[in-house]
Every structure is written in structure tokens, then in C-alpha cells.
């Protein structure tokens, strides 16, 4: 991805001014939604290191990193749609983000519709699990 391209997360910002900031330092994801968007962008880039870093230590499975990267590379990411957020603000310690990640797998368009729970761990947001 070119650094001056719009961010894959859907915000009208260049990658370097959006999810690229979180990819450089996870503390830059100020809200649960910011972290969700940065994780989606990491999937579009098959950035397994960030996907692991942004996962809660209790639910992180480093053995899955290679699987995630292989799958992320095997699909064409189309767009992220944030449906709803509950809490997850800059002062919160947990939050919920409901989202739809649209992608193409082979010739089929698919949608991953999930509601994720996000927590603060070690001073920054991380993905915990599906609600």
C-alpha cells in the first residue's frame, strides 16, 4: 500500500494518518473502534505481528498467526462497516464494537458480521473475543 492512499478502514484519511499510526505504536489506537479499524487494516495488509499484538494476552494464540496471515492474503478485502459501538471511549476500560468486514473469497462476496469485546491491557486497547 502506498503511504498516501486512503486507509482501508474506511475513514477519509491517508493510511499514515489513520491506522498507520496504530500500526507504528498500538497506544495510538485511542478507542475500541480505533483498534477495530486498525485490526481490519492489518488484515488487509496481512500484518500478523500487529494482529497478535492487538489481541488480549489471555486469548492470543500465536500458533494461529500463520493461519491468519495465510487467510488474510487469500481473500480480497472490500470494506469495513462499523454497525455500533458501546463504550470503548478514551476513558473507558472496555467496549463493544459490532462490525461487518466485507471481502471476496474466490468469486464469492462474503461478510464477516461480528460483535467484538475490547479491553484495555497494559495501557492500550486490545481485542478480547467475540461477544
2 belongs to a structural domain: no
Structural domain of 99:
15-130
**Average pLDDT rounded to a whole number, residues 116-129:** 97
**Residue 98's closest CA among 109, 82, 111?**
82
Residue keyed to cell 471481502: 103
pLDDT of amino acid 4: 65
Q: What percent of the chain has pLDDT over 90?
A: 92
19 belongs to a structural domain: yes
Counting the structural domains of the chain, the total is 1
Name 9's Cβ contacts closer than 8 Å, sequence gap at least 6: 18, 19, 37, 38, 40, 41, 80
**For the segment 79-113, what is each residue's pLDDT rounded down to a tens digit?**
999 999 999 999 999 999 999 999 999 999 999 99
Amino acid at each position: 500500500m502506498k503511504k498516501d492512499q486512503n486507509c482501508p478502514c474506511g475513514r477519509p484519511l491517508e493510511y499514515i494518518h489513520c491506522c498507520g499510526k496504530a500500526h507504528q505504536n498500538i497506544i495510538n489506537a485511542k478507542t475500541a473502534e480505533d483498534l477495530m479499524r486498525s485490526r481490519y487494516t492489518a488484515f488487509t495488509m496481512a500484518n500478523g505481528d500487529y494482529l497478535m499484538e492487538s489481541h488480549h494476552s489471555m486469548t492470543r494464540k500465536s500458533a494461529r498467526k500463520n493461519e491468519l496471515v495465510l487467510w488474510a492474503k487469500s481473500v480480497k478485502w472490500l470494506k469495513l462497516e462499523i454497525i455500533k459501538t458501546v463504550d470503548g471511549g478514551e476513558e473507558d476500560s472496555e467496549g463493544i464494537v459490532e462490525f461487518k468486514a466485507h471481502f471476496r473469497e474466490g468469486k464469492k462476496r462474503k461478510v464477516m458480521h461480528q460483535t467484538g469485546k475490547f479491553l484495555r491491557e497494559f495501557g492500550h486497547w486490545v481485542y478480547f473475543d467475540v461477544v
